[in-house]
């Protein structure tokens, strides 16, 4: 059996292009609607994709003035309407409270029965001004500190800390709750967390390569926009970020992007951009399978490119036996082949 090749899909607004909403099959007021988001999630799960990602931003990006709904809330909304696909929202670390981030992602893992991931990202200086905080001198180092604190908070409840003994009125074993005191130059955190340990023990932490500070153990999965990046032995999984615009019956992918750019030029991001036929894209992904653990797909226009993916690319990946759907009831860590980490505070 070939090594699984994991395919993630970003479901952000109308697509990666800022003019995508003009090509959506729904009216502009429905581009961010819950029903539309649910439709994308159910379709992606039925097609055997590994996970959905949800972008977010605390301040407007003048290069890409597309609105967002809160990423964690969107993921939580889908937890009850899906049962296999992973849910990975962005939660920035630069100006967020680590305790709140830990509680949000742990709660998502509980509500999704162990399918939560966390895209830990840094924030630009504009966010500091928006929340009246000083600009972080080293956002990458801040990210590493926050991830370490969040991981410790997830472990502050041992797996069997919850007792739920109705007869005695005892809810938790206090001996299995642990204080977590983390202090940096900019903030301090004191645990235990207000949420029991997540079903996965540690939800999957995803960090973009540009945000890594070199601290070991920061990420379970590394996102990259560099086709030259390779996974190191014993290191995190490596997933390639790809913007795509596929050929449709109406126009080739390159022409579609040119027409979108005429409405609103797209910002340059740290991602690979691919245009062409769906069959050609399938061959491209098959070529990546020996070097990368998967890809995260950003469709230029979700309504158009997802249809092309369903019709051409994904069937070809199934024929090549690269696309292996997550099993209902499995955790995201299991799907990715990651072990469930032991609790650092466990005494037995």
- CA separation (Å) from 51 to 8, 182, 335? 5, 31, 10
Q: What is the C-alpha separation between 178 and 344, in angstroms, rounded?
A: 10
Q: How many CB atoms lie within 10 A of CB 171?
A: 12
The mean per-residue pLDDT over the stretch 59-84 comes to: 82
> Each residue of 222-245: pLDDT tens digit?
999 999 998 887 889 999 999 999
Q: What is the C-alpha separation between 154 and 202, in angstroms, rounded?
A: 7
Q: How many CB atoms lie within 10 A of CB 220?
A: 20
| Range in 25-29, 54-58, 194-198, 211-215 the model is least confident about | 211-215
> Each residue of 96-118: pLDDT tens digit?
899 999 999 999 999 999 999 99
Q: What is the pLDDT of residue 122?
A: 92
Q: What is the pLDDT of residue 47?
A: 95
Q: Which has the closest alpha carbon to 19: 31, 30, 9?
A: 31
Q: What proportion of the chain, given as a percentage, has pLDDT over 70?
A: 95
Answer whether 17's CB lies under 8 Å from 244's CB.
no
> Each residue of 154-182: pLDDT tens digit?
999 999 999 888 888 888 898 999 999 99
Query: Which domains does the chain show, CATH number per domain?
Result: 6-53+66-127+201-336 (3.20.20.30)
> Each residue of 189-212: pLDDT tens digit?
998 999 999 999 999 999 999 888
């Amino acid at each position: 059996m070939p090594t699984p090749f994991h395919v993630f899909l970003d479901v952000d607004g109308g697509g990666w292009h800022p003019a995508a909403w003009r090509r959506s099959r729904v009216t502009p007021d429905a581009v961010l609607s819950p029903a539309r988001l649910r439709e994308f999630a159910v379709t992606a799960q039925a097609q055997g994709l590994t996970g959905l990602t949800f972008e977010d931003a605390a301040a407007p990006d003048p290069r890409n003035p597309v609105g967002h709904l809160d990423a964690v809330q969107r993921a939580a909304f889908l937890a009850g309407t899906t049962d296999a696909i992973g849910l990975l929202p962005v939660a920035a670390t630069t100006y967020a409270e680590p305790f709140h981030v830990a509680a949000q992602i742990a709660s998502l893992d509980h509500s999704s029965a162990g399918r939560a991931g966390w895209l830990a990202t840094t924030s630009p200086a504009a966010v500091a001004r928006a929340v009246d905080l000083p600009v972080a001198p080293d956002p990458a180092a801040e990210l590493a500190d926050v991830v370490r604190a969040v991981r410790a908070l997830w472990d502050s409840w041992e797996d069997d800390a919850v007792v739920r003994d109705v007869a005695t009125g005892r809810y938790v074993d206090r001996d299995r709750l642990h204080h977590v005191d983390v202090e940096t130059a900019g903030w301090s955190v004191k645990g235990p967390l207000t949420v029991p340990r997540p079903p996965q023990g540690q939800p999957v932490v995803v960090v973009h390569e540009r945000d890594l500070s070199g601290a070991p153990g920061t990420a379970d999965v590394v996102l990259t926009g560099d086709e030259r990046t390779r996974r190191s032995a014993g290191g995190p999984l490596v997933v390639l970020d790809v913007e795509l615009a596929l050929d449709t019956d109406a126009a080739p992918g390159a022409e579609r992007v040119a027409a979108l750019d005429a409405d609103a030029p797209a910002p340059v991001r740290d991602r690979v951009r691919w245009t062409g036929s769906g069959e050609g894209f399938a061959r491209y992904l098959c070529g990546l399978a020996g070097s990368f653990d998967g890809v995260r797909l950003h469709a230029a226009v979700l309504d158009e490119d997802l249809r092309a993916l369903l019709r051409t690319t994904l069937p070809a990946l199934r024929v090549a036996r690269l696309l292996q759907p997550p099993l209902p009831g499995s955790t995201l860590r299991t799907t990715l082949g990651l072990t469930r980490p032991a609790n650092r505070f466990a005494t037995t």
